[in-house]
Amino acid sequence: MTYRLELAAVQDLLNTLPVDALAGLPEVWALLELTPWAGAPWIHDNPGGALRVLTYAQGNGAVVYLVLEDRRLVDVIDIWWTH
């Protein structure tokens, strides 16, 4: 069973990211829809915490998100790009 992605919090940001940052996001979205717990915990002392981070593009980008298991929802709350 897949998870639904919520991108409302990052919609404006998505419109400003460079092409290089956008190129890797379809793969990130696909991973989050299937296995959102694959990301690292945001708080290392809470490895089972629902706030997660997933790096992509050889570490140049990161997606911060919240897994709402009871709703099968992944709420993307921020995207970082270093270039």
The domain spanning residue 9 has which CATH number?
Answer: 3.30.2310.20
Task: Count up the domains in the chain and report the number.
Answer: 1
Domain extent at residue 60: 4-81
Write out residues in the chain with pLDDT < 50, as ranges: none
Looking at residue 40, its pLDDT comes to 97
What pLDDT does 7 receive?
A: 98
- Distance (Å, rounded) from C-alpha 65 to C-alpha 82? 18
- pLDDT score at 18: 95
